[in-house]
């Protein structure tokens, strides 16, 4: 539905490299609606929970450290619109940037799986979990009507 929502994040390497505006801009220009936005250094607890399904992987500790060490913050976002979960993943490109096509965020800006600059929810279930985890406070996700909507969605 057009109310579908996903959690997208710019990871610390993307923030450090000045790619926040580009990543926001791609979603904004496509016509998706920004309904949540925050800048934070995530706690270990938050990062552990966010990546809980990867906790047995050999790269897990390095992944959580890179997300939480505070050398740069993370930009967390909630984007809304038709098929935004699947299309958000398409716009990010493959997890391993070496397999990400040109025109995707990872395919355009990065080279290494451990520094792939962005995150996007991979299913309706993970979108719900991640939005609640990162934007669980009252009013942190904002419902608003875009005046563009009739020109973008029919």
Residues forming contacts to ligand DAT in the complex (CB under 6 A) are 54, 59, 63, 95, 113-114, 116, 119, 122
CA distance 116 to 144: 31
Does the annotation place 27 within a ligand binding site? no
End-to-end CA distance of the chain: 12
Choose the contact partner of 59 out of Mg ion, ligand DAT, none; CB within 5 to 8 A by kind.
Answer: ligand DAT
**Interacting residues of 78 by C-beta distance below 8 A, sequence separation 6+:** 5, 6, 7, 8, 34, 35, 36, 37, 131, 135, 141
Distance of closest approach, residue 55 Cβ to ligand DAT, in angstroms:
11
The span from the CA of 83 to the CA of 87, in Å, is 6
Q: Are the CB atoms for 122 and 35 separated by under 8 Å? A: no
Residues 6+ apart with CB under 8 A from 145: none
Instruction: Give the CB-nearest residue to Mg ion.
Output: 122
> Which one of Mg ion, ligand DAT, none interacts with residue 103, CB within 5 to 8 A by kind?
none
Phi, psi of 118 (to 5 degrees): -150, 160
Ligand-binding annotation for 59, yes or no, is: yes
Give the CA angle between residues 150, 23, 147 to the nearest 5°.
20
Q: Is 106 annotated as a binding residue?
A: yes
Is 89 annotated to bind ligand? yes
* Two structure tokens written together for 138: 């009252």
Name the residue nearer to Mg ion (CB basis): 108 or 122: 122
Scan residues 70-129 and list those touching Mg ion (CB under 5 A).
122
Nearer to ligand DAT, 81 or 88 (CB): 88
**Of 119, 130, 131, 134, which residue is the catalytic one?**
119
Q: Based on the residue annotation, tell me whether 119 is a catalytic residue of this protein.
A: yes
- Kindly identify the residues of this chain, within the stretch 10-29, that bind Mg ion according to CB under 5 A: none
In the complex, what is the shortest distance from the CB of residue 149 to Mg ion, in angstroms, rounded to a whole number? Answer: 29
Residues at the binding site for ATP are 11, 59, 89, 95, 106, 116
């Amino acid at each position: 539905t057009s109310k579908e929502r996903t959690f997208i994040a710019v990871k610390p390497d993307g923030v450090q490299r000045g790619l926040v505006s580009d990543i926001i801009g791609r979603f904004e220009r496509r016509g998706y609606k920004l309904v949540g936005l925050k800048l934070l250094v995530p706690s270990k607890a938050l990062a552990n929970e966010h990546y809980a399904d990867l906790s047995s992987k050999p790269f897990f500790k390095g992944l959580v450290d890179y997300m939480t060490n505070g050398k740069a913050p993370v930009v967390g976002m909630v984007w809304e619109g038709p098929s935004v979960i699947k299309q958000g993943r398409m716009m990010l490109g493959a997890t391993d940037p070496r397999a990400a096509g040109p025109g995707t965020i990872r395919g355009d800006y990065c080279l290494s799986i451990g520094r792939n600059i962005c995150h996007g929810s991979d299913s309706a279930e993970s979108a719900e979990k991640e939005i609640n985890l990162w934007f669980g406070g009252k009013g942190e996700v904002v419902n608003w009507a875009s005046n563009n909507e009739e020109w973008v969605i029919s």
